[in-house]
Amino acid sequence: MNNETQHTTLKFLSRHADPEHFSIVKKCREEVMYPRGKNLVRQTGYMPPHLSRKLLKRYTILEGNQGN
């Protein structure tokens, strides 16, 4: 293993990594957050406003079409 290799956390790197690596740190963070974010939405129903607007609009049209 290379001598410069080290174990650290993304939080640490987001502050102390070389600026050229910031985009990779961000990508790694998003890689962790994305699937967990999806799970959170599925489990709790919390969702971003643009998604809730879209879903509600579609559902309102559906109920209207059902004539109820």
Partner 1 sequence: MALSEKKKFLNWIKTHPSCEHIRKQAGNTEVIYDVEHSDPNQRIKIFDIPISQKKKSIFTKIKDNIWVPGYKLRGNSYSDTNFDQQLNQTSSIMSISGVFDMICTAPVLYYFTQAAGLLALPLSLGYGYMLLIMSNKAGEFSMNRPKGNNTTANFLLLIFFLLSMVKTLMSGVGIDLVSRAGEIKNSTAEELLIKQIPTNEDTNVLYTNLLANSKNECDRLIKEQSKLDPTKRAQRKLYNQLQENMYKSIKSPKSDPRYLLDNNLSDLGPCTRVDLIEKFNGNSSFNRNKIASAQNNLRESLSPVSFLYVFQRNQFNNLFTGNPLKGSESNFESYKKVFKDSATEFNIDCLNTKIRCDENVAWSNPAMAINEAAKQFYGRIFNKEWENLGLSYVGFLISILLSATATILLYTSSIDIKNRASRSSLVEDWRDDYFLELDEEEQTN
Contact positions vs partner 1 (CB under 8 A) = 2, 4-11, 13-14, 17-18, 20-21, 24-25, 28-34, 36-38, 40-56, 58-60, 62-63, 68
**Shortest distance, position 64 Cβ to partner 1, whole Å:** 10
* Measured distance CA(55)–CA(32) in Å, rounded: 26
Closest distance to partner 1 from the beta carbon of 65 (Å): 12
Interior angle at CA 12, CA 15 and CA 3, nearest 5:
110
For residue 40, give every residue at least 6 positions away whose Cβ sits within 8 Å of its Cβ, in sequence order, or none: 46
Nearest distance from C-beta of residue 3 to partner 1, angstroms:
8
